[in-house]
Structure 1
Amino acid sequence: MVNANMLEVKDLHAYYGKSHVLQGVDFNVGRGEIVSLLGRNGVGRSTTCKAIMGLVAPHGTIHFDGESVAGLKSHQVARRGIGYVPEDRLIFSGLTTKENLEMGVKKVGAQARWTLDDAYRLFPRLAERADVKANLLSGGEQQMLTMCRTLMGDPKLIMIDEPTEGLAPQIVSQVGDFLLKIAEQGISVLLVEQRLSIAMRVSHRVHVMGHGRIVFEGTPADLEADDAVRREWLEV
């Protein structure tokens, strides 16, 4: 059962130059909860993650684990316990799979909740490809690697931007299973996703964004029952 909120965002605004991208975003993510941000491209979903992470200047309130993180630098936000998997799968192409995973480690010994063995258990394919250079991995393998490397930093919450983009259906299903497994470990997940099917399968709650705001909040079942919201804000 989800209890206290891990992340609380209130009246969040963000700008690119003179463009007012986020126009008062409000939502929260509970401990061990998967919350999805849905919507068409360009509505501000990725910018929301970047504002939380300090990659875009945030204007508003961002509380993480009871502490204000609005305005902190991205490395300071990460040290508080927020992991971020960007859409462009930033890997170290010249390093092996194992070396990439080791680059993500922030804690060692008894303090570490995630080890190489944990990553390999979640995604056995990474163990098989441990000594392969990351640039030789498939798109799906690179996505697995990026997410597992972020987990090696021992986050309390992980933000994942479009993890299924360009992946085969079988790998999409594996990504969904991965998200459920990390939530079972008590890690909160903020998922930015274009595929409605995976978001509806794994999320505890979904938020639909439109024009820089949250225009719908509810359970997957609530969204499934609301044809008007899906037609206006999600369908192409």
Structure 2
Amino acid sequence: MTKPELNISAETLLSVRGLQAWYGKSHILHGVDLDVKRGEIVSLLGRNGAGRSTLLKAIMGAVTTKGEVSFAGQSLGGQKPHKIAYAGIGYVPENRDVFPDLTVRENLILGLKSKGEGRWTMEDIFDLFPVLRTRAETNAGALSGGEQQMLTICRTLIGDPDLIMVDEPTEGLAPKMVATVGALLERIAAKGVSILLVEQKLVIALDISHRLYVMGHGEIVFEGTPAGLMNAPEVRAEWLEV
């Protein structure tokens, strides 16, 4: 993979300010600030338990929160997850939620919004990942882990989001499939869709991201470019390396 071109708008699409989140009485996020611009790939790095997945769920309204989340200039505070999805945010969880007894095509159809096809048609999706075309009538449960991951990303994409949040898409995948997922995310961003990526593999994040945030103990402990992170060995040693 090559570094993506910085062909992004100066307009901030997603803005998070002072975001706190809880699971029951457990206080997980402690005042997170984060921005994603239109067409930008932003990665969230950190060790397990740092709060990265919780941040995505908080943005989607799936956990108890306090603070401000705005999208395309509109506040998302207090909205239900399905309303946030219809506002233009797609969410790909880490557990690859496919419908195993439905075909690949049927899984993709379920991702369509009620208004019908948007900027991405079924053919666009098949062009992005041709293996899905060849397996369109195969039950999703028969796909490999990597193919299921691509299907979940593509099912979200066909819903026509302006921003996709993707949680650990390369977890457990073979190196070749990791590269394929990274290339797919770059192609999606090249068409103007912003991406907020939770990723454990530093190499992938450095390759495809315009900017990076590092989280630790529910807070942002670093914000900058891939080059900036590479020039901050103390940050990597304290918050990323095992």
TM-score by length of 1: 0.98
**1:80-114 deviation digits (Å, cap 9, x = unpaired):** 000000000111111000110011011425xx101
1:88 aligns with 2:95: yes
Aligned length: 234
Distance 1:142 1:70 in 2: 32
Aligned equivalent of 1:36: 43
Q: Secondary structure at the match of 2:222?
A: strand
Structure 2, gaps ≥5 residues long = 1-6
Aligned AA (2:218): G
Aligned to 2:183: 177
The equivalent position to 2:63 in structure 1, one of 56, 59, 72, is 56
Q: Which whole-Å CA distance do the structure 2 matches of 1:165 and 1:71 have between them?
A: 31
2:206 aligned with 1:207, yes or no?
no
User: What is the distance in 2 between the residues matched to 1:25 and 1:233?
Assistant: 16
- Cα root mean square deviation, aligned: 0.8
| Contact 1:97 1:126 survives alignment (8 Å) | yes
Measured in 2, the distance between the counterparts of 1:129 and 1:71 equals 40
> Is residue 138 from structure 1 mapped to residue 144 from structure 2 by the alignment?
yes
- Give runs of aligned pairs for residues 57-136 of structure 1, distance below 5 A: 57-106=64-113, 107-108=115-116, 112-136=118-142
**Contact conserved, 1:52 with 1:70, CA < 8 A, in 2?**
no
Is 2:228 the partner of 1:225? no
Does the CA-based 8 Å contact 1:57-1:71 persist in structure 2?
Answer: no
Is the 1:44–1:211 contact (alpha carbons within 8 Å) kept by the matching residues of 2?
yes
Contact 2:23/2:64 (CA < 8 Å) preserved in 1? no
Question: How far does residue 199 in structure 1 lie from its aligned partner after superposition?
Answer: 0.5
Q: What is the identity, as a one-letter code, of the residue corresponding to 1:78? A: A
Q: Which amino acid aligns with 1:98?
A: R
Percent of aligned positions that are identical? 60
The aligned counterpart of 2:161 is 155
> Matched residues in 2 for 1:88 and 1:104: separation?
17
* Equivalent-residue separation in structure 2 for 1:65 and 1:166 (angstroms): 34
Match in the other structure for 2:12: 5
Task: Tell me which stretches of 4 or more aligned residues in structure 1 moved more than 2 Å.
Answer: none
Whole-Å separation in 1 of the counterparts to 2:121 and 2:159: 10
Counterpart of 2:116, as a letter, is: V
Write out per-residue CA displacement over residues 6-42 of structure 1, whole angstroms, 9 at most, x where no aligned residue.
Answer: 0000000001122110000001000000000000000
Q: Secondary structure of 2:64's match? A: coil
Q: Any unmatched runs of 5+ in structure 1?
A: none
TM-score, normalization by structure 2: 0.95
